[in-house]
Amino acid sequence: MSGFTISRRTMLTGSAMLLASTSMPALGWAQTPKKGGRLVLAADSEPRNLNPAIVASNGVFFISSKIVETLAEASFDGKDGLAPRLAVSWEGAADGLSATFKLREGVKWHDGKPFTSADVAFSALQIWKPLQNLGRTVFKDLSAVDTPDDLTAVFKFAKPTPFQLIRNALPALSSVVPKHIYEVGKIEDNPANNAPIGTGPFKFGEYKAGQYYRLTKNADYWGKDEPYLDEIIYQVLPDRTSAAAALEAEEIQLAAFSAVPLADLDRISKVPGLKVITKGYEGLTYQLVVEINHRRKELADLKVRQAIAHAIDKDFVVKTVFLGYAAAATGPVPKNDPQFYTADVPTYAFDVAKANALLDEAGYKKGADGNRFSLKLLPAPYFNETKQFGDYLRQALAAIGIDAQLVNNDSAAHIKAVYTDHAFDLAVGPPVFRGDPAISTTILVQSGIPDGVPFSNQGGYKNPALDALITKASETLDTAARTDLYKEFQKQVAADLPLINVAEWSFISVASEKVGNIANNPRWAVSNWADTYLAG
């Protein structure tokens, strides 16, 4: 057991150091890049729609980010945390009403047609703004995209829009698709949604349902000497235990997105030729959150919510549910966010006695059976960890006299129960922090969101002061002032507990030592892999 603890701690410190020092070279075992080869990796889901401009989610990016590129990608050392892709430079106007992008020269679509600013204008106006799950919020005030020449796109906004938000949204929200393919017929039904055409280093090869996706090298890629790989094969391995076995048998060379269960990492890190990598997901932080239905009269009481927060032992959750591969959360912005995070928020130490006292104070005395009241608890089924935390939360609540009854659903039924039918008292959810609170975080506590919008405030929480703060931040153009408003936002959320942030975690990759240039940007698993290579 002790050997386990040490190795885990070393690994965590290692990743923290890498995070802190951006000038550190790419990982130590990388040899000189070599051309050619086929990278085989594990894929645990098979998204049907592979168009990242419509479905901006990690499951889709994992495959399609190699084919369809964005204007910019996240970077450890680039200015504002960005590295250029299809755009080479960007600038926001002082009045927040326009943003100018200079585009890369000499880029060709996979079908040979040239990439121009018309493609950017089309993608932004016809897809990101009206159709994309995240773009609907960020680009809601986008009114036009001017194209003075083939390599300049000027975004015009109807209302002042903070350029900081647009910039932070670029890596995930700005996938550019070809206008000449999508302008015919309905965008949602376009065959290119299933066989994407882009500008990326790899072309879509084929997809065999239940077996694999195959991507092939784009010989005309704009990057010099890139890509290195000839082929990428996504081997569909839905069973999480089989990815580890496939790695050991050298059938695959990479399992990203924690395809290898956390409990197996210690064992697998000792297998010669395999490496466990905790880096490369800094831009994809998942948050473990207890969603609260404020329609329940008990839960509408702040004291009850505080009691629940005090009843959760965050360290236990990090150590036992996540085996140390997570961090305890303090509020709605994760600690690893370089721009917005503040630790200056009310915190809730693990204190069962205090939790019990708070519940007594709120007027919910223990009954003869030791219970105060009963709640329905719906853990999201997407991750083992969310389910396990559900089991833990039930025990934690039992300790303070709240009887939680678990309700298990499949993904579709869970989304319907929580976000449409509101048939829950508490739910365990894994929202994603996407580099800016305005992209997918404020929506978790804002009021006035229509029923049925997944991963939004469907708990009936309404706080006019917080709503006003969110609106003000969304209109503030000055970066420093905007950042301060989001720090205030974190304080208010932690104080009023519309939801309870428990932990923050990201993913782990396990790869063969032959795979080079792994984890060299904060969204590595969903970046374009142009510089990834296989050593001999």
Partner 1 sequence: MSRLRRFLRTPEALAGAILLAVLFAMALSASLLFPGDPQAIAGPALLPPFQNWSLPLGTDRLGRDVLVELFHGARTSLAVGLAAAATALVIGAVVGTLAGFAGGLVDEVLMRITDAFQTVPGFLLALAFVSVVGPSLGVVVVAIALGTWTGPARIARAEVLSIRERDYVAGARVIGMHPLEIAFREVLPNALPPVLAMSSVIVAAAILTEAALSFLGLGDPNRVTWGGMIAEGRTVLRTAPFLSIVPGIALLLTVLGVYLAGEGIVETTAVRRGLS
In the complex, minimum distance from the CB of residue 288 to partner 1, in angstroms, rounded to a whole number: 15
Judged by CB, which is closer to partner 1: 339, or 409? 409
Residue 56: partners with Cβ closer than 8 Å, 6 or more residues away: 132, 133, 134, 135, 172, 173, 175
In the complex, minimum distance from the CB of residue 286 to partner 1, in angstroms, rounded to a whole number: 18
Judged by CB, which is closer to partner 1: 208, or 267? 267
Judged by CB, which is closer to partner 1: 321, or 518? 321
Judged by CB, which is closer to partner 1: 22, or 374? 374
How buried is residue 161: exposed, middle or buried, by Cβ count under 10 Å (0-12/13-18/19+)? buried
In the complex, minimum distance from the CB of residue 272 to partner 1, in angstroms, rounded to a whole number: 17
Judged by CB, which is closer to partner 1: 211, or 411? 411
Residue with tokens 């951006």: 22
Beta bridge partners of residue 91, listed in sequence order: 100
In the complex, minimum distance from the CB of residue 242 to partner 1, in angstroms, rounded to a whole number: 11
Where in 261-349 does DSSP place strands (E)?
A: 274-277, 285-292, 327-328
- Identify the CA nearest to 390 among candidates 288, 472, 516, 477: 288
What does each C-alpha distance from 152 to 97, 122, 235, 294, 521 come to in angstroms? 16, 13, 39, 48, 26
Question: Helix (H, G, I), strand (E, B), or coil: what is residue 31?
Answer: coil
Judged by CB, which is closer to partner 1: 381, or 431? 381
What does each C-alpha distance from 80 to 164, 479, 516, 531 come to in angstroms? 9, 12, 26, 22
CB 127 within 8 A of CB 176: no
Judged by CB, which is closer to partner 1: 95, or 410? 410
In the complex, minimum distance from the CB of residue 251 to partner 1, in angstroms, rounded to a whole number: 16
Q: How far is CA 117 from the centre of its chain?
A: 28
In the complex, minimum distance from the CB of residue 299 to partner 1, in angstroms, rounded to a whole number: 20
| Count of alpha carbons within 13 angstroms of residue 35, beta-carbon side | 6
- At 302, list the tokens: 């702040």
Judged by CB, which is closer to partner 1: 392, or 433? 392
In the complex, minimum distance from the CB of residue 523 to partner 1, in angstroms, rounded to a whole number: 26
In the complex, minimum distance from the CB of residue 323 to partner 1, in angstroms, rounded to a whole number: 8
Which residues contribute to the site for partner 1 (CB under 8 A)? 240-241, 244, 261, 263-264, 266-267, 320-321, 381, 384, 388, 391-392, 394-395, 398, 405-410, 413
Backbone angles phi, psi at 148, to 5 degrees: -60, -35
